[in-house]
Amino acid sequence: MADTVPRPDGLPERAETLVRAAWVLTVGPEGDIADGAVHIRGGEIVAVGGYEELRAGLADVPVVGDGTGLLIPGLVNAHTHLSEALTTGMGSELTLFEWGERIVGPLGTVLTEEDAREGTLLRAVELLLTGVTTVNDMFVHSNRDEFASLGVVDGLVRAGLRGVVSFGAEDAYDPGAPWADVKRIMDEQDDLAAAVALAAAHGAPVGFRYGVGTLLGQSDELLEAGVDACRARNWAVHTHLAEVREELVAASARWGRRTIPHALRLGMFERPLIAGHGVWVTEADVEILAGNGAAIAHNPVANMILGSGVCPVPRLRAAGVTVGIGTDGAASNDSQDMLQAVKMAALLAKVHAVDPAVLDAPTVLRMATLDGARALGQGDLVGSLEPGKRADLVLLQDSVCVSMLHDPCGQLVYGASPRAVRDVWVDGRRLVVDHTCAVVDERDQIERARPLARRLALASGLAAAGISRLAGPPDWAPRTPDRRRSWEDQAEPDE
């Protein structure tokens, strides 16, 4: 098919297409359109409307979709950690602080740029097949020998995903460690920002934010250096705030104030800021977030697994705080299934409030699309199906779970599964075709990732500690990696 012919950089061409569905849920001014369609060309949405009306003037344009499915804006995963891409399924009975100390900490010391690249490509398959077109990543590591976070840029570019990347550095928990050096950390921030700028110059839809792993995880020196850098370079911020009760107790003991007031005092809210979780917020915290235009990424699945609490989504939204939805990392969620996170966001709010009307399906879909885009400063580009926006869209079709559309939005939020994701476009490139990822070979990527995951389990000591049982047969050794071209080898930027 013309729209799946590989480009020299390995991605499909942007092809003019008319995408048809029984219902187009625009999350925009057009609302929900029965027997609707979206016309895309050159990576942009040209028109949105009824299928027959659009088709009349586009007789020669190929049509995708048989008119039975759902067409929605691409989902925005507002918070994750691709540093956890190869380390799922451990520590589900640990609290956040225990989990960080016993699992994430040891893993972070041995993560490499190769792990970042291959792990990103592995999870890109899962993200795309659950309707994600934009991902906001924070790569957390403490490998003194490599700027491992740069591998995420390569992985996102090869997969064709729209992404925002950050390096979630921490230096406070082991200040004597070789990697706990403020200059070294800031150098990686600069290099990551430069890698993003180079990829963007070659046409990749990627951006950068300054990462603060956690406020408690950073020394006062690093916190101040980061705020200064954000002021000087106009960097936006990605961090965590008010995730668990222990965080608030520890912050009060260290600074005499909780983390949100301390971030305010540091000047962190002077730049656009998105924070994961926002579970344990006070009324004063909500006022600070709303007054400074900060956004929260709600991660219901991870919060439930870790027993962290329930984010007060209705309260935040009522105060004017933009709330997106995220999966969180694959080691605290154990998947990157965004459709699962969308459903859980709705259900968790309902059961917590003992009120089924507290958060309805259209609101949750908006959180997972337009609000997530706005939280990342991309609401003018993506998040809704409107002429002039970039062509990020998802067609759900051919599955029992979306076959009966009495209430299209309700069926999407409460009933849709990855089996229904038929086609996905990012920036006009069709990356999922007929339920199959067209840009990353799933079986091959699993094969590439397995030995890397085994190495991480062994090198981090998690296998020896009995936390990971991923030992594999004695003769299971990583195969020699191929020499696939990096995006840096592309000769010319896209026109």
- 432 close to 128: Cβ distance less than 8 angstroms: yes
Q: How far apart are the first and last CA of the chain?
A: 23
Question: Taking the model in full, what pTM does it have?
Answer: 0.93
Q: How far is CA 62 from the centre of its chain?
A: 31
Residue 269 has phi, psi (to 5 degrees) of: -85, 0
- 251 close to 262: Cβ distance less than 8 angstroms: yes
pLDDT score recorded for residue 97: 82
Distances 138 to 192, 329, 386 between C-alpha atoms, Å: 12, 9, 29
> For residue 486, is pLDDT > 60?
no
Edge-to-edge strand ranges of the sheet holding 206-208: 75-80, 132-137, 162-165, 206-208
Query: What is the Cα Rg of the chain in Å?
Result: 22
pLDDT score recorded for residue 491: 41
- 268 close to 237: Cβ distance less than 8 angstroms: yes
- 178 close to 148: Cβ distance less than 8 angstroms: no
Please report which confidence band the pLDDT of residue 471 belongs to, taking 50, 70 and 90 as the band edges. low
C-alpha span between 485 and 468 (Å, rounded): 33
C-alpha span between 317 and 297 (Å, rounded): 12
Higher pLDDT, 177 or 316: 316
Q: Which residue has the tokens 């209430």?
A: 407
Percent of the chain with pLDDT over 90: 83
> For residue 395, is pLDDT > 90?
yes
pLDDT tens-place string over residues 64-90: 999 999 999 999 999 999 999 999 988
**Helix axis angle, 182-201 to 150-159, nearest 10°:** 20
Higher pLDDT, 392 or 101: 392
> For residue 477, is pLDDT > 70?
no
The DSSP secondary structure of 362-383, one letter per residue, reads HHHHHIIIIIHHHHTT-TTTSS
The DSSP secondary structure of 318-346, one letter per residue, reads HTT-EEEE----HHHHSS--HHHHHHHHH
